[in-house]
């Protein structure tokens, strides 16, 4: 696939970061692969806010690949973090899971019924499947495996030897309060949950009454991190700790002990230096003054001899229609939830078109129809060359990666049309294909495979996100009372519509017909431009049709509804 931006440009934010990252990598590590990184804590459902932690470096890494450079996107699974709390609403989990608070995520059992061996693997698996669908290529690193295998042993001993220096850096910030960023205030409960992240930013930094120790052992008896280091000898590396949860005490040699980890504010910069990370974004909970990212910049330099990555702050990802979600499980929806109702390129586009510091919302309500309209319109503009360069770049990044294009719907009919059809047909394939075939008689659909996977996404949206009382149910019998109550103008407007059905039986034709009837009734030509008075008349006419067809005054777009109901049944319900 060609490069989105062939040289240094101002085309879009991804190209600008790629320029900076390539230059910085060549300065720091010439001849080596460019390293970008993400950190994900599988402490519960990994939601669409967390996905920005992955998509931001993915998009930059992919642009670097398009330019012919070797690049590694590391995803560090923070699965050796402590289990902080029981997430609300997770199926197969009850109050008993609170007994595991303080244990490593990989030591907590998976929710009941899960095929996975522990809590972390259960929640990692869902995201891994979604990342594959989204075309994200990465190298994954389990922090449980790294720590328990002693991979960071030298770094741990080094940090303990220089604990006084680390303590001095942290002491500068312990009494400071970060200013409130009004522009980044979460707008709703979903965004608040997203902003909280893994909670690592709020973990203790190793300061104890016995002194400062940047290493936290997991208890040898209860496996919890509710431990306090009481002594450490630099020469022998003997470490003494006591568990406040169970009272267990133990003396270990840190040069051979692998059941613990560095505290977060030391662990993160240690990894930057160890992996040679050039680019890694961070959420707002890590980016305020005195927080993990700022403190980490000092620690990585003065303690580990490394350099802080280029690290943009990323803003909130909100949810439109969150309250109506049947699959929210008490938390923010996941990438898997989004991919059930939208195609992967559309979800990629939402992250690609906004700079990391710009917040945006992902639609689970009716807004998804408008979003798809915008997406299809952009595709048309890209195809005819009328789109702006930044829009072309975002679209190109959405529909494919350096490895090639993502799967696409061969014939992408409007999402709102597909949703209306499956709403009316309740997913009946024969009925659905009949209606879709009649949308464009000059180029009829031959198989539902032509409109998949978009059709499946639209059907999932209708069945999972649209409340039952908002679904479309076509009348089985005419509303004789309403038909009898019509005045002469009402009956005449229905006659004009019925007389034009056969000659206008296509999506475009019926659109012209239903909008044209009120114009003819007003003594105008069918193609006359609408006036405010005419728009009022059209709304009244549409409301009448909806009442006669589906008992409500609103519903799917009338041309689609008429096609779905079928000409014979329309005639019956409209009193022909």
Residue 292: predicted pLDDT: 86
Query: Which residues contact residue 459 at a Cβ distance below 8 angstroms, ignoring those fewer than 6 apart?
Result: 418, 419, 422, 427
From the number of C-beta atoms within 10 Å of its C-beta (0-12, 13-18, 19+), residue 574 rates as buried
Evaluate whether 34 touches 22 at the Cβ level (below 8 Å).
Answer: yes
> Residue written as tokens 């120790």?
213
Distances (CA, A) of 320 to 88, 112, 284, 365, 548: 20, 30, 21, 6, 32
Residue 5: predicted pLDDT: 44
Residue 7: predicted pLDDT: 38
pLDDT in tens, the chain (576 residues): 444 444 334 579 999 999 999 999 999 999 999 999 999 999 999 999 999 999 999 999 999 999 999 999 999 999 999 999 998 878 889 899 999 999 999 999 999 999 999 999 999 999 999 999 999 999 999 999 999 999 999 999 999 999 999 999 999 887 665 554 444 444 444 444 444 444 454 566 778 777 999 999 999 999 999 999 999 999 999 999 999 999 999 999 999 999 999 999 999 999 999 999 999 999 876 666 677 888 999 999 999 999 999 989 999 898 887 644 433 344 679 999 999 999 999 999 999 999 999 999 999 999 999 999 999 999 999 999 999 999 999 999 999 999 999 999 999 999 999 999 999 988 889 889 989 998 888 899 999 999 999 999 999 999 999 888 888 889 999 999 999 999 999 999 999 999 999 999 998 999 999 999 999 999 998 888 888 999 999 999 999 999 999 988 888 889 999 998 999 999 999 998
Residue 487: predicted pLDDT: 95
For residue 35, the cross-strand partners are 72
Of residues 410, 375, 406, 404, the one with CA closest to residue 391? 375
Tens of pLDDT along 384-431? 999 999 999 999 999 999 999 999 999 999 999 999 999 998 888 988
**Pairing relation of β-strands 238-243 and 227-232?**
antiparallel
Rg (CA), the chain: 30
Evaluate whether 541 touches 493 at the Cβ level (below 8 Å).
Answer: yes
Evaluate whether 478 touches 548 at the Cβ level (below 8 Å).
Answer: yes
Rounded CA-CA distance 264/299 in Å is 12
**Both structure tokens of 262:** 């560095």
* DSSP-assigned letters across all residues of 89-139: T-TT--GGGGGGTTSBGGGSPPPTT-SSSSHHHHHHHHHHHHHHHHT---E
Rounded CA-CA distance 385/368 in Å is 25
Tell me how many helices (H) and strands (E) the chain has.
23, 16
Judge if the upstream peptide bond of residue 453 is cis by omega within 30 degrees of 0: yes
| Cα end-to-end distance, the chain, whole Å | 57
pTM: 0.89
Coil, helix or strand for 464? Answer: helix
DSSP conformation class of 279: B
């Amino acid at each position: 696939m060609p490069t989105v931006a062939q040289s240094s440009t101002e085309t879009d934010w991804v190209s600008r970061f790629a320029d900076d990252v390539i230059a910085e990598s060549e300065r720091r590590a010439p001849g080596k692969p460019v390293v970008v990184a993400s950190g994900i804590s599988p402490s519960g459902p990994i939601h669409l806010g967390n996905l920005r932690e992955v998509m931001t470096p993915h998009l930059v890494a992919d642009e670097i690949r398009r330019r012919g450079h070797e690049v590694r996107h590391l995803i560090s699974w923070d699965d050796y973090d402590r289990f902080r709390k029981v997430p609300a609403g997770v199926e197969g989990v009850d109050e008993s899971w609170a007994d595991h608070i303080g244990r490593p995520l990989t030591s907590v059992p998976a929710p009941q019924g899960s095929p996975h061996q522990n809590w972390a693997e259960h929640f990692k698996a869902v995201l891994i499947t979604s990342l594959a669908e989204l075309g994200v290529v990465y190298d994954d690193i389990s922090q449980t495996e790294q720590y328990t295998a002693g991979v960071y042993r030298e770094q741990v001993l080094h940090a303990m030897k220089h604990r006084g220096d680390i303590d001095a850096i942290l002491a500068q910030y312990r009494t400071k309060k970060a200013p409130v960023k009004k522009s980044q205030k979460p707008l709703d409960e979903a965004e608040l949950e997203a902003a909280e992240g893994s909670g690592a930013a709020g973990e203790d930094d190793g300061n104890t009454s016995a002194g400062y120790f940047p290493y936290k052992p997991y208890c040898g008896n209860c496996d919890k991190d509710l431990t306090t280091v009481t002594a450490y000898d630099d020469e022998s590396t003997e470490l003494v700790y006591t568990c406040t949860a169970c009272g267990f005490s133990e003396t270990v040699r840190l040069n051979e002990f692998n059941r613990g980890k560095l505290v977060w504010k030391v662990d993160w910069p240690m990894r930057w230096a160890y992996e040679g990370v050039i680019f890694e974004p961070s959420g707002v909970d890590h980016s305020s003054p005195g927080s993990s990212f700022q403190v980490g910049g000092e620690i990585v330099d003065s303690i580990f001899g490394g350099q802080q990555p280029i690290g943009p702050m990323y803003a909130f990802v909100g949810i439109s229609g969150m309250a109506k979600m049947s699959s929210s499980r008490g938390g923010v929806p996941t990438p898997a939830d989004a991919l059930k109702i939208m195609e992967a390129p559309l979800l990629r586009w939402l992250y690609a078109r906004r700079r990391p510091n710009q917040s945006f919302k992902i639609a689970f309500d009716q807004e998804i129809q408008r979003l798809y309209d915008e997406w299809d319109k952009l595709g048309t503009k890209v195809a005819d060359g009328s789109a702006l360069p930044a829009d072309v770049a975002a679209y190109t990044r959405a529909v494919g990666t350096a490895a090639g294009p993502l799967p696409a719907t061969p014939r992408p009919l409007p999402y709102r049309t597909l949703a209306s059809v499956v709403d009316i047909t309740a997913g009946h394939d024969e009925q659905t294909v009949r209606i879709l075939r009649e949308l464009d008689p000059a180029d009829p659909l031959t198989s539902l495979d032509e409109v998949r996977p978009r059709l499946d996404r639209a059907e999932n949206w209708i069945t999972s996100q649209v409340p039952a009382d908002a679904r479309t149910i076509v009348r089985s019998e005419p509303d004789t009372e309403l038909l009898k109550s019509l005045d002469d103008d009402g009956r005449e407007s229905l006659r004009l519509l019925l007389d034009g059905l056969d000659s206008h039986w296509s999506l475009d034709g019926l659109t012209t017909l239903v909008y044209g009837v009120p114009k003819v009734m007003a003594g105008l030509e069918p193609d006359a431009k609408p006036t405010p008075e005419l728009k009022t008349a059209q709304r009244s006419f549409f409301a009448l049709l909806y009442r006669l067809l589906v008992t409500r005054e609103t519903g799917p777009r009338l041309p689609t509804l008429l096609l779905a109901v079928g000409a014979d049944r329309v005639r019956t319900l409209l009193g022909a």
